[in-house]
């Protein structure tokens, strides 16, 4: 099997690593930036090719990992160069898919979007593990060759991701809601607080505020491109969010504690339901472990798990709205939960399984 | 010195522990719930008294750690019983202070609000460390005896917190913005996404969405009481936030990438400025440490620090908007940053100091 990676940044290089490891594929890569191609090659993610055409020629599957605006052109070139099936990794799908299909690419092109990423950027931060367990949206249309869709789906699944089939429109509406809206909400919250002329505002900002505004530190360039490419869905999501805020605001103004309690309880239950499925990954368990206030407490917790070779999938310190210290939520594989709890108990930490 | 703790839940018991340890005080406690009083006593936080009056009698300083609605009555009783100075720990101040002062408590009562808390609740979760480094708002008015204000400020500082003097109105406006608004924003975001009838929505919800909606799992009872007690400031904050969202939405709708970039950049810079002052604590350094994808990686990081007796003040795994894995942000004492970086380097982890 030959896989082509067209664009060897963080996502492209990660797919290259996963394709080598899990598909046993020969992976040819190209990037218009020679530095990115060289770094991905050094990282072991691709075999470097001097042109897009050379990389795509006779590829069973080509991944277009370019910025959203460049995807239609790169996808068309890959199809022309002889790639049998082409997919992409862009954060928005309706415009991209319609441009590729309109440009003669209907049939062998399948829109895609792995719901993954990292604080790091560029091929140096690449890892096959970035894909493992991530939801991976695929957006074939009525014009897509069913065989092509199955081929991409199969490759995605074998690389450890969870394929989710959606229409391009549905994909864009959903990421508008669960990915683009949170970014806008975070940026708006930071801007609202920062616009206070009271210097004490930031002095009183505790853990909850920090959690909510963390995304506001994301790359403006990246996000402006995404938001503008998904204009309708983002506008719709912001409106729905604004309506919900107004509703809560009206309850506060009216002193309507009963409605407010109901709304807060419903949101609480929805959030607790979500915690059972972090990053859409199945088969994980979340353990809550209180953190004692002394040096080395976290080290004891993580070492106890490392000693048993339990992989920590995720770890977060959960703060209350006004709190600083907190409880650790440790995500481990479902099959390892029992061993993890036993290991923690032995080390003197009482863990409770949340899911 | 005699300190009275009236209400021995999480905050009251934590103050009791800190007062014993850092003020060397004799700490008398009372709680209308015998179970809470017994637990706080077992925790070593207070010496139990059979009545509020007995606890407050001849106390140099009484902390009223009751639910907001009960504070005026308990504060008045403590003053009547002979406590020299009385303060409270309620999350809103204007109404509380005005009720206590109107009820004859002006002079010896100083409104207070430690900006701390924990996921845990009740005296069992209490710790002196909950107070250490937290901002602690104090809201004396023109009617407060200056000596009383100084006494509370001094005690707060000796217990390791950072006193911040504000008028009750200013306090309420600020917490409306940086504490109550984030709670409403989180609950509204969760409700907006949960109202989607598309079951795939939660499947695509990644790290960013989880960060933003974590607070939505907070206690409805607690929050409804707080929001209603700070009605005006909360309404004002929700409005300002709604305006900011509408502004961003209009930029998206108009395709105004230039204004959008500027707004995102400003918010990003404000957020990065905030990271330098987590929980209002001075004298800390934040280190960014990439997490390799293998069992034990976090244990290596935390163990390297524990070996050098570096206390981890806070630790969070920072996700990108769509990402799962990430970078650890480790908060340590400023004076320990260099030793921490060296210890991590020795263990093979390249840490960068962010602040």
Residues B59-116 pLDDT 10s: 999 999 999 999 999 999 999 999 999 999 999 999 999 999 999 888 999 999 998 7
Whether the Cβ atoms of residue B112 and residue B62 lie closer than 8 Å to each other: no
Q: Does B333 touch chain A (CB under 8 A)?
A: no
What is the DSSP secondary structure assignment for residue B329, as one 8-state letter?
Answer: E
Q: Please give, rounded to a whole number of angstroms, the shortest distance from the CA of A355 to a CA of chain B.
A: 15
List the beta bridge partners of residue A331: A286, A314
Q: Rg of chain B over CA atoms, in angstroms?
A: 23
Which of B225, B255, B275 is the C-terminal boundary of a domain?
A: B275
Do B155 and B301 belong to one domain?
no
Residue A104 φ then ψ, to 5°:
95, 5
> What is the pLDDT averaged over residues A286-299?
72
Which of A275, A302, A330 is the C-terminal boundary of a domain?
A: A275
Q: Please give, rounded to a whole number of angstroms, the shortest distance from the CA of B278 to a CA of chain A.
A: 7
Whole-number Å distance between alpha carbons of B217 and B189: 12
- For residue A308, pLDDT over 70 is answered with yes
Helix axes A181-194, B257-275, angle to 10 degrees: 70
What is the DSSP secondary structure assignment for residue B59, as one 8-state letter?
Answer: -
Query: Does A178 contact B299 at a Cβ distance shorter than 8 Å?
Result: no
**How many other CB atoms are found less than 10 A from the CB of residue A250?**
14
What are the tens digits of pLDDT across the range A20-66? 998 999 999 999 999 999 999 999 999 999 999 999 999 999 999 99
Do A9 and A148 belong to one domain?
yes
Whose structure tokens read 């395709």? B255
- At residue A317, the pLDDT reads 65
Joined tokens for residue B348: 């093979």
- For residue A142, pLDDT over 80 is answered with yes
CA-closest candidate to residue B70, choices B89, B42, B45:
B89
Whole-number Å distance between alpha carbons of A322 and B279: 9
What are the tens digits of pLDDT across the range B288-304? 787 765 667 777 888 88
Joined tokens for residue B232: 């005006």
Q: Does A91 touch chain B (CB under 8 A)?
A: yes
CATH of residue B178's domain is: 1.10.3660.10
Q: In what order do the strands lie in the sheet with B109-114?
A: B47-48, B26-30, B2-6, B61-64, B85-88, B109-114, B135-139, B162-165
Do A69 and A160 belong to one domain?
yes
Do B347 and B222 belong to one domain?
no
Q: Does A246 touch chain B (CB under 8 A)?
A: yes
| Pure H helices in chain B | 10-23, 34-42, 52-56, 71-80, 94-100, 146-158, 168-175, 181-194, 201-204, 207-213, 220-229, 231-254, 257-275, 297-307, 337-346
Whether the Cβ atoms of residue B278 and residue B332 lie closer than 8 Å to each other: no
Whose structure tokens read 């918010």? B267
Mapping DSSP onto H, E and C, the string for chain A reads CEEEEECCCHHHHHHHHHHHHHCCCEEEEECCCHHHHHHHHHCCCCEECCCHHHHHCCCCEEEECCCHHHHHHHHHHHHHCCCCCEEECCCCCHHHHHHHHHHHHCCCEEEEEECCCCCCCCHHHCCHHHCCCCEEEEECCCCCCHHHHHHHHHHHHHCCCEEEECCHHHHHHHHHHHHHHHHHHHHHHHHHHHCCCCCCHHHHCCHHHHHHHHHHHCCHHHHHHHHHHCHHHHHHHHHHHHHHHHHHHHHHHHCCHHHHHHHHHHHHHHHHHHHCCHHHCCCEEEEEEECCCCCCHHHHHHHHHHHCCCCCCEEEEECCCCCCCCEEEEEEEHHHHHHHHHHHHHCCCCCEECC
Whose structure tokens read 């509370």? B152
Do B149 and B6 belong to one domain?
yes
Whether the Cβ atoms of residue A185 and residue B185 lie closer than 8 Å to each other: yes
The contacts of residue B214 (CB under 8 Å, 6+ apart) are A211, A271, A318, B186
Do A207 and A271 belong to one domain?
yes
- At residue A70, the pLDDT reads 95
Domain that holds residue B149: 2-165
Q: How confident is the model at residue A326 (pLDDT cuts 50, 70, 90)?
A: low
**Which residue would you say has higher pLDDT here, B165 or B318?**
B165
- At residue B211, the pLDDT reads 81
Among candidates B189, B231, B277 on the partner chain, residue whose Cβ is nearest the Cβ of A241: B189
Do B190 and B102 belong to one domain?
no
Q: Note which residues in 148-207 of chain A have CB less than 8 A from chain B.
A: 162, 164, 166, 170, 173-175, 177-179, 181-196, 198, 200-207
Whole-number Å distance between alpha carbons of A164 and A175: 13
Q: In what order do the strands lie in the sheet with B352-353?
A: B314-318, B327-333, B284-290, B352-353
The contacts of residue A58 (CB under 8 Å, 6+ apart) are A2, A82, A83, A84
Joined tokens for residue B193: 């996404």
List the beta bridge partners of residue B3: B27, B61
Do B239 and B149 belong to one domain?
no
Do B156 and B184 belong to one domain?
no
Which chain A residue lies closest to B262 (C-alpha atoms)? A220
- At residue A324, the pLDDT reads 47
Whose structure tokens read 């003097």? B165
- At residue A121, the pLDDT reads 67
Whole-number Å distance between alpha carbons of A259 and A244: 13
Which of A140, A166, A192 is the C-terminal boundary of a domain?
A: A166
Cβ contacts of A249-252, under 8 Å, gap ≥ 24: A249/B184, A249/B234, A249/B235, A249/B238, A249/B239, A249/B242, A252/B184, A252/B227, A252/B228, A252/B231, A252/B234, A252/B235, A252/B238
Q: How far is CA B67 from the centre of its chain?
A: 16
Residue B276 φ then ψ, to 5°:
-75, -15
Using DSSP's 3-state secondary structure scheme, residue B114 falls into strand
Joined tokens for residue B252: 């998206």
- At residue A277, the pLDDT reads 40
What are the tens digits of pLDDT across the range A15-28? 999 999 989 999 99
Do A123 and A53 belong to one domain?
yes
Whole-number Å distance between alpha carbons of A93 and A6: 18
Q: Please give, rounded to a whole number of angstroms, the shortest distance from the CA of A57 to a CA of chain B.
A: 31
Whose structure tokens read 């690419």? A105
CATH of residue B147's domain is: 3.40.50.720
Whether the Cβ atoms of residue A15 and residue A63 lie closer than 8 Å to each other: yes
- For residue A207, pLDDT over 50 is answered with yes
Do A153 and A199 belong to one domain?
no
Chain B CB contacts of A288 below 8 Å: 119
Q: How confident is the model at residue B283 (pLDDT cuts 50, 70, 90)?
A: low
CA-closest candidate to residue B78, choices B55, B99, B97:
B55
What are the tens digits of pLDDT across the range A213-256? 988 988 898 899 999 999 999 999 999 999 999 999 999 999 99
**Which residue would you say has higher pLDDT here, A87 or A133?**
A87
Among candidates B187, B196, B280 on the partner chain, residue whose Cβ is nearest the Cβ of A204: B280
What are the tens digits of pLDDT across the range A172-198? 999 999 999 999 999 999 999 999 888
- At residue B116, the pLDDT reads 79
Q: In what order do the strands lie in the sheet with A109-114?
A: A47-48, A26-30, A2-6, A61-64, A86-88, A109-114, A135-139, A162-165
Query: Does B314 contact A323 at a Cβ distance shorter than 8 Å?
Result: no
> What is the pLDDT averaged over residues B196-217?
84
Chain A CB contacts of B248 below 8 Å: 184, 187-188, 238
Question: Based on the structure, what is the number of domains in chain B?
Answer: 3
Joined tokens for residue B51: 């009545």
- Average pLDDT of every residue of chain A: 88
Do A89 and A63 belong to one domain?
yes
The contacts of residue B7 (CB under 8 Å, 6+ apart) are B31, B64, B65, B66, B74
Whether the Cβ atoms of residue A29 and residue A48 lie closer than 8 Å to each other: yes
Q: In what order do the strands lie in the sheet with A352-353?
A: A314-318, A327-333, A284-290, A352-353
Q: Does B6 touch chain A (CB under 8 A)?
A: no
Chain B CB contacts of A350 below 8 Å: none
Q: Does B16 touch chain A (CB under 8 A)?
A: no
Whose structure tokens read 């100084």? B150
The contacts of residue A39 (CB under 8 Å, 6+ apart) are A8, A13, A122, A123, A124
């Amino acid at each position: 099997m030959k896989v082509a990676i067209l664009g060897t940044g963080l996502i492209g290089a990660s797919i290259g690593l996963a394709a080598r490891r899990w598909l046993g594929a020969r992976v040819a890569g190209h990037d218009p930036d020679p530095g990115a191609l060289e770094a991905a090659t050094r990282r072991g993610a691709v075999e470097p090719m001097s042109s897009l055409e050379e990389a795509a020629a006779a590829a069973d599957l080509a991944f277009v990992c370019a910025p959203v605006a460049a995807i239609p052109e790169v996808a068309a070139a890959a199809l022309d160069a002889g790639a049998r099936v082409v997919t992409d990794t862009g954060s928005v799908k309706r415009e991209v898919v319609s441009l590729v299909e309109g440009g003669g690419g209907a049939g062998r092109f399948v829109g895609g979007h792995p719901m993954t990423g990292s604080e790091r950027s560029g091929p140096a931060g690449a890892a096959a593990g970035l894909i493992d367990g991530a939801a991976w949206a695929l957006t074939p249309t009525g014009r897509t060759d069913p065989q092509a869709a199955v081929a991409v789906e199969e490759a995605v699944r074998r690389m450890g991701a969870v394929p989710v089939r959606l229409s391009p429109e549905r994909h864009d509406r959903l990421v508008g809601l669960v990915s683009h809206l949170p970014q806008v909400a975070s940026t708006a919250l930071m801007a609202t607080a920062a616009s206070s002329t009271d210097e004490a505002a930031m002095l009183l900002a505790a853990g909850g505020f920090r959690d909510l505004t963390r995304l506001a530190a994301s790359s403006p360039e990246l996000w402006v491109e995404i938001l503008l490419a998904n204009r309708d869905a983002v506008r719709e999501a912001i409106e729905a969010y604004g309506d919900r805020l107004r509703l809560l605001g009206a309850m506060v103004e009216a002193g309507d504690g009963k409605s407010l309690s109901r709304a807060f309880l419903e949101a609480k239950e929805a959030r607790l339901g979500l915690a059972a499925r972090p990053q859409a990954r199945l088969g994980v368990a979340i353990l809550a472990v209180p953190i004692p206030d002394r040096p080395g407490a976290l080290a004891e917790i993580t070492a106890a798990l490392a000693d048993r070779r339990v992989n920590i999938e995720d770890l977060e310190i959960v703060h209350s709205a006004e709190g600083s210290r907190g409880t650790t939520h440790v995500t481990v594989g479902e099959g390892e939960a029992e061993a993890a709890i036993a290991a923690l108990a032995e080390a003197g930490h009482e863990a409770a399984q949340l899911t």
